Amino acid sequence: MSYDIIIKNGLYFDGSGAPGAQRHVGIKDGRIDVLSLSPLDESGCGEVIDAAGKWVTPGFLEIHSHYDAEVIAAPALKESVRHGVTSVTIGSCSISMVLADAEDCSDLFTRVEAVPREYVLPILQEKKTWRDAAGYRAFYDQLALGPNVNSFLGHSELRVAVMGLERATSKVMPTEAELQRMEQLLEEALDAGCIGLSVMTTRLDKMDGDRAWSSPLPSTFASWKEFSRLFAILRRRGAVMQGAPNAVTKVNVFAFLWQAHGWFRKPLKCTMLTALDLKSQPLLHRFTRLSGWLANKVLRGHFRWQTLPGPFTLRLEGLNVNAFEEFGAGEILRDIKDPDELYSKVKEPEFRALFKKQVKAVLTKGLWHRDFSDCWVTECPDASMVGKNFKQLGESRGLDAVDAYFELACQYREALKWTTCYGNQREPIMRKLLSSPWTHPGFADSGAHLRSIAQYNFPLRFLKYVRDAQLAGEPFMELGQAVRRCSGELADFIGVDAGHIRVGDRADLVVINPEGLTAELDEISEAPMEVIGLERVVKRNDAAVDVTLINGRIAYRRGLEYPEDLGKTRGYGKFLPARDVLPRQAAAGALQPASAM
């Protein structure tokens, strides 16, 4: 037999958590044809990859992306493919592009995910011809995808499609007929292959456009009665709920835990945002791990927190700071559209006094620690500012740190680039989060926050931490388990056919050079977005991934980059329908209590 591709001599990990073992992998017609202990016959093989000294792993999954707009315009999604990600989940955080019209989808997405509306709206107006789940699925079935795609239905979009934008962003409750319509559309989305429903309860994310500018997302206006009716469908059919508790009070996390429980009923499969070691709340990581244990062991649920394998560092520009949404004075700034008015506002003494007072408030702290001594200038027309924090810059001018920040922002606007780390800076704590059975590596937000977040390479950073700990004689996880956490474990949880290397599986895999897992994985740079034309911040270390294969085709090769047809012709990624979601008829008899998972 001849193979299309042979990968020989590599340390092979199958995605199950098993230790690595040397194998020779034969790929034929896009699938794993053989996993051999002995060398394969290379006669007639079109491509032989020598992986001696390398790791051969399943392609990685990103279960929390915001590629919804980018994948429509530039479906190759090259920034993820170059880092070994072969499957991405869209429709996160209650925002999807399944049912509503182009303008509604744009206004839900662009401000929340910090992607300019003037770029996204024209793309959707040109490309989005569907208004139902069947049309959504049909679009992706014919799209020349790079990585595989699977999708949630977003609850904010569902509300807008049924209630209209104005009513969906008000305190008006849906009528019984509207609730029934939401239920029907959710059923249809699951029929079309969506993996579940994403919801949002934190009111920090705000709408774009003129019709509902600065309103919280529609999902945040829903009652728990509305959620419960939709969650009942997810539970009955075995679909996934992605949710986010209130980022400031966090109290409603207990409501989500109750929704997840499996006492005398089938549990609701839940993936929640997010388990981080925040500087603003240094004990929060204990609560997330404890609540995971409570949800799964005591309440018999199927519940996971999403975590990030790396420091949660943001690169910011001028006054463009999403975290300002967390307190009143900051919200005032975020509500101002006109840049001149925005920068004039921070010059007002009364406003500055209010801002300083609220920055110091403890009870309203969310993700951001609000410590301007931990905010560092990385780029500025005045090079003498670079490498200093705003407290240091203020002291040299006889100013408070906030005043120094505002003065420099007004002088240089977006040319003032600065960075701060929200959390995950304590590696021992991060190791506990990464090794917890109640967490999943995710929360990368790829495709969003283009100028501030650069987490596209998160699986490589996970592997780096595991390898570094082993080399230091302080292992906290076996390498096979680390690979599983970024591949097979995620695929099995959300219920899609991906994440494993077994005979008969689609050949989505990565060849990794472990010597390339270096500190360069955390260095931020800028790169253009294909087709769209924007510049985004990225973290790249091209020494780590040698080859990424999708459907048995080389989608990325170090040094040669991408094949010409990636994102232009079909044959690489595909839409991955939910494997574990029950058909409507079968789900009717599947409500018996489940044992602990």
Q: How many CB atoms lie within 10 A of CB 169?
A: 23
Q: How many CB atoms lie within 10 A of CB 284?
A: 15
Boundary-marking domain end, from 387, 422, 457? 422
**Is there a single domain that holds both residue 439 and residue 463?**
yes
**Is there a single domain that holds both residue 260 and residue 321?**
no
In contact, 213 and 336? CB cutoff 8 Å: no
- Distance, in Å, from the CA atom of 462 to the CA atom of 424, rounded to the nearest integer, reads 12
**Is there a single domain that holds both residue 392 and residue 520?**
no
- Distance, in Å, from the CA atom of 127 to the CA atom of 545, rounded to the nearest integer, reads 33
In contact, 242 and 200? CB cutoff 8 Å: no
Provide the residue range defining the domain that includes 174.
Answer: 60-310+424-497+515-540
Q: What are the start-end ranges of the H helices in 261-418?
A: 284-293, 328-334, 339-345, 349-359, 390-395, 401-412
Residues contacting residue 442 through CB under 8 Å, at least 6 positions apart: 62, 63, 64, 271, 306, 307, 308, 490
Boundary-marking domain end, from 422, 451, 480? 422
Q: Which of 123, 159, 229, 171 is nearest to 447 (CA)?
A: 123
Structure tokens given for 220: 């945040």
Q: Does 102 reside within a domain? A: yes
Q: What is the pLDDT of residue 596?
A: 38
**Is there a single domain that holds both residue 350 and residue 476?**
no
**Is there a single domain that holds both residue 418 and residue 430?**
no
Residues of the chain with pLDDT under 70: 247-250, 589-597
**Is there a single domain that holds both residue 393 and residue 458?**
no
Structure tokens given for 35: 């996993």
Q: What is the pLDDT of residue 595?
A: 41
Boundary-marking domain end, from 398, 422, 446? 422
DSSP per position, 28-53 = ETTEEEEEESSPPP-TT-SEEEE-TT
User: Interior CA angle at 53 toward 49 and 59, to 5°?
Assistant: 60
Q: Which of 216, 214, 209 is nearest to 104 (CA)?
A: 209
**Is there a single domain that holds both residue 83 and residue 223?**
yes
Q: Does 358 reside within a domain? A: yes
**Is there a single domain that holds both residue 438 and residue 386?**
no
Residue type, 5: I
Residue 469: CATH number of its domain: 3.20.20.140
Q: Does 12 reside within a domain? A: no
**Is there a single domain that holds both residue 349 and residue 277?**
no
Residue type, 229: R
Structure tokens given for 21: 């073992």
Q: What is the pLDDT of residue 593?
A: 46
Q: Does 329 reside within a domain? A: yes
**Is there a single domain that holds both residue 189 and residue 330?**
no
Q: Does 3 reside within a domain? A: no
**Is there a single domain that holds both residue 458 and residue 362?**
no
Whole-prediction pTM: 0.95
Q: What is the pLDDT of residue 247?
A: 64
**Is there a single domain that holds both residue 360 and residue 453?**
no
Could you give the number of structural domains in the chain?
2
Region at 44 (left for phi over 0; alpha for psi -120 to 50; beta for the rest): left
Q: What is the pLDDT of residue 362?
A: 74
Q: What is the pLDDT of residue 230?
A: 98
Q: Does 135 reside within a domain? A: yes
Q: Does 41 reside within a domain? A: no
Q: Does 14 reside within a domain? A: no
Q: What is the pLDDT of residue 392?
A: 97
